[in-house]
């Protein structure tokens, strides 16, 4: 048994810290706290035990919410190493009832993996690699591996030099992924702004085409007497043309008099002139956003990761672009997948004659999580019992009528920050009869714990396993006009 394995027995898991998409640290004990570092490459798994974290937690949020949910509060009953299991931890409750879970850092397949199972011989509760990616649910080939096959390696970093080498690997993995992620978001913002600029350019052309109607109206006014009543089009001299003797064909509404046709053209031109001012203003703002994006690219290169994310989110919010929901966005849970909610305005299969549902009132929290709000009792039923996923979070004020509010989770184990929960609760308080109070109690729970009473009226619901927040009613500033 390695020195690390011998030091783990009896320690209680207090949390899991995400360091990068390939690295994590399991927090053990309280005071003094220890951290079990783990770093997984395709063909190598490294781990170490230390008193501190190797790097700061990933500012994008933890991708290991599912693992933390399964481990938190358990005590390591036994730790061992072996040829196929680089490090195996048997864990159980604090009451000493014995091991109920096992966490294994494995090197037996085509790649290293970290797997949490229930005992005895229970299902896989969480895995770093999913089934179909070399994960634990793939069948092991019965034929011998080819000569070129190399098994993953495992290494325990026990000396200060080995721990420093592992720390550098974790840091390198984080920055490589962070820079790729940042570049993807910057490129996506640039594509969105470029598409917006192209669309606004087309809008400008349309408004200018409308403005040209003023010239036709002036020509009609100048030639009232030459226009036969009931004509659908007329050709008249064009006094605005550069070449003398030029004419222009003007389409007319046969049901209108020449005077009314001219008035219609003037009205169209006036609408185009108003629209041209609006579009020019929007074009200037989009060009300013594109220039700001170029400056942002240069600026964030030298900023720490947390500050770089803050600058990016501030820019996206100011430019009117949707923020990315950060947190557990990678689906690595091996359980049954839940169906995604239909996109608003594009429902799934409906019975013949069924009416298309209205789009839910939608907001976004400061870090980009989507929030649905019911507009009425029927809409409350729709978003709670039909559109939302079981793992979404449901909010409602305590004791007074109010809208059902759904905080959409991008994946089953995405973990919203406390501020995100408070913002969703504030929206629920705002869309209730208690919106004028300074502080309002709001309950929330997973949507799977919300049901409709038997023979209940639309909008009625009962829930269990709820928690409560005390918040000030309000809606996000970026969505204040929603």
What's the CATH number where 223 sits?
1.10.287
What stretch of H or E contains 91? Answer: strand 85-92
For 298, what's the count of Cα atoms within 13 Å in the CB-facing half-sphere? 4
- For position 283, what pLDDT does the model report? 92
Give SS3 for 125: strand
Is residue 454 domain-shared with residue 373, that is, in the same domain? yes
Is residue 11 domain-shared with residue 89, that is, in the same domain? yes
- For position 449, what pLDDT does the model report? 92
- For position 289, what pLDDT does the model report? 93
- For position 346, what pLDDT does the model report? 38
Q: Checking phi first, is residue 79 left (phi over 0); if not, alpha (psi -120 to 50) or beta?
A: beta
Q: How many separate domains does the chain show?
A: 3
Is residue 47 domain-shared with residue 120, that is, in the same domain? yes
Please say which residue of 104, 130, 158 terminates a domain.
Answer: 158
CA–CA separation, 400 and 409 (whole Å): 26
Is residue 24 domain-shared with residue 154, that is, in the same domain? yes
Angle formed by the axes of helices 305-318 and 160-211, to 10°? 10
CA–CA separation, 314 and 367 (whole Å): 10
Angle formed by the axes of helices 213-222 and 160-211, to 10°? 10
Tokens of 415: 């973990």
Is residue 385 domain-shared with residue 453, that is, in the same domain? yes
Is residue 16 domain-shared with residue 56, that is, in the same domain? yes
261 within a domain of the structure (yes/no): yes
355 within a domain of the structure (yes/no): no
Is residue 93 domain-shared with residue 223, that is, in the same domain? no
Please say which residue of 100, 129, 158 terminates a domain.
Answer: 158
- Specify which residues 249 forms β-bridges with: 235
Q: What is the pLDDT of residues 237-260, one digit of tens each?
A: 887 877 788 888 888 988 888 888
Residue ranges making up the domain that contains 215? 178-302
Is residue 184 domain-shared with residue 122, that is, in the same domain? no
353 within a domain of the structure (yes/no): no
- Specify which residues 153 forms β-bridges with: 44
Is residue 136 domain-shared with residue 183, that is, in the same domain? no
Is residue 104 domain-shared with residue 205, that is, in the same domain? no
Tokens of 387: 């559109």
- For position 372, what pLDDT does the model report? 95
Q: Checking phi first, is residue 455 left (phi over 0); if not, alpha (psi -120 to 50) or beta?
A: left
Tokens of 174: 């984080």
Q: What is the pTM of this model?
A: 0.60
Quickly count: other Cβ atoms within 10 Å of residue 135's Cβ.
Answer: 18
Is residue 59 domain-shared with residue 131, that is, in the same domain? yes
Instruction: Tokens 């079981």: give the residue.
Output: 390
Q: Checking phi first, is residue 29 left (phi over 0); if not, alpha (psi -120 to 50) or beta?
A: left
Which segments in the chain show pLDDT lower than 70? Answer: 1-2, 83-85, 130-150, 322-359, 477-482
- For position 138, what pLDDT does the model report? 44
Is residue 195 domain-shared with residue 131, that is, in the same domain? no
Q: What is the pLDDT of residues 401-446, one digit of tens each?
A: 999 999 999 887 788 999 999 999 999 999 999 898 888 899 999 9
145 within a domain of the structure (yes/no): no
347 within a domain of the structure (yes/no): no
Please say which residue of 302, 332, 349 terminates a domain.
Answer: 302
330 within a domain of the structure (yes/no): no
For 300, what's the count of Cα atoms within 13 Å in the CB-facing half-sphere? 24
348 within a domain of the structure (yes/no): no
384 within a domain of the structure (yes/no): yes
Instruction: Tokens 């294994």: give the residue.
Output: 104
């Amino acid at each position: 048994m390695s020195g690390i394995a011998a030091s783990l027995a009896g320690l209680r898991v207090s949390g899991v810290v995400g360091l990068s998409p390939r690295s994590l640290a399991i927090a053990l004990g309280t005071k003094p706290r220890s951290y079990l570092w783990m770093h997984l490459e395709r063909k190598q798994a490294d781990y170490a035990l230390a008193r501190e974290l190797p790097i700061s937690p990933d500012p994008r949020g933890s991708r290991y919410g599912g693992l933390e949910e399964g481990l938190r509060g358990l005590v390591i009953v036994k730790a061992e190493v072996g040829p196929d299991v680089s490090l195996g931890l048997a864990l159980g409750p604090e009451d000493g009832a014995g091991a109920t879970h096992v966490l294994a850092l494995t090197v037996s397949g085509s790649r290293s993996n970290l797997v949490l199972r229930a005992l005895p011989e229970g299902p896989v509760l969480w895995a770093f690699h999913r089934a179909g990616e070399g994960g634990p649910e793939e069948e092991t080939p019965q034929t011998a591996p080819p000569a070129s096959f190399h098994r993953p390696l495992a290494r325990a970093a026990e000396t200060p030099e080995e721990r420093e080498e592992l720390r550098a690997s974790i840091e390198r993995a984080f920055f490589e992924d962070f820079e790729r992620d940042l570049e993807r978001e910057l490129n996506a913002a640039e594509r969105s702004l470029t598409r917006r600029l192209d669309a606004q350019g087309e809008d400008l052309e349309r408004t200018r085409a409308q403005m040209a109607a003023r010239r036709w109206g002036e020509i009609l006014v100048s030639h009232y007497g030459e226009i036969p009543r009931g004509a659908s089009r007329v050709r008249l001299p064009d006094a605005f043309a550069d070449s003398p003797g030029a004419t222009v064909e003007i389409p007319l509404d046969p049901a209108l008099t020449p005077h009314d046709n001219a008035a219609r053209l003037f009205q169209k031109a006036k609408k185009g002139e108003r629209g041209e001012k609006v579009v020019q203003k929007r074009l200037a703002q989009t060009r300013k956003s594109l220039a700001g994006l170029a400056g942002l690219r240069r600026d964030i290169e030298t900023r720490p990761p947390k500050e770089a994310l803050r600058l990016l989110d501030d820019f996206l919010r100011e430019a009117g672009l949707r923020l990315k929901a950060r947190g557990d966005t990678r689906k690595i849970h091996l359980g049954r997948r839940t169906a995604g909610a239909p996109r608003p305005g594009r429902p799934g299969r409906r019975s013949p004659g069924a009416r298309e549902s209205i789009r839910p009132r939608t907001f976004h929290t400061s870090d980009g999580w989507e929030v649905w709000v019911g507009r009425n009792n029927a809409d409350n039923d729709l978003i709670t019992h039909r559109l939302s996923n079981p793992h979404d979070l449901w909010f409602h004020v305590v004791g007074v009528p109010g809208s059902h509010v759904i905080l959409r989770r991008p994946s089953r184990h995405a973990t919203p920050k406390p501020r995100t929960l408070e913002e969703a609760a504030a929206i629920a308080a705002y869309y209730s009869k208690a919106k004028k109070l300074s502080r309002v109690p709001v309950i929330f729970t997973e949507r799977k714990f919300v049901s409709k009473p038997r023979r209940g009226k639309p909008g009625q619901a009962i829930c269990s396993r709820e928690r409560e927040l005390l918040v000030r009613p309000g809606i996000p500033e970026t969505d204040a006009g929603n």
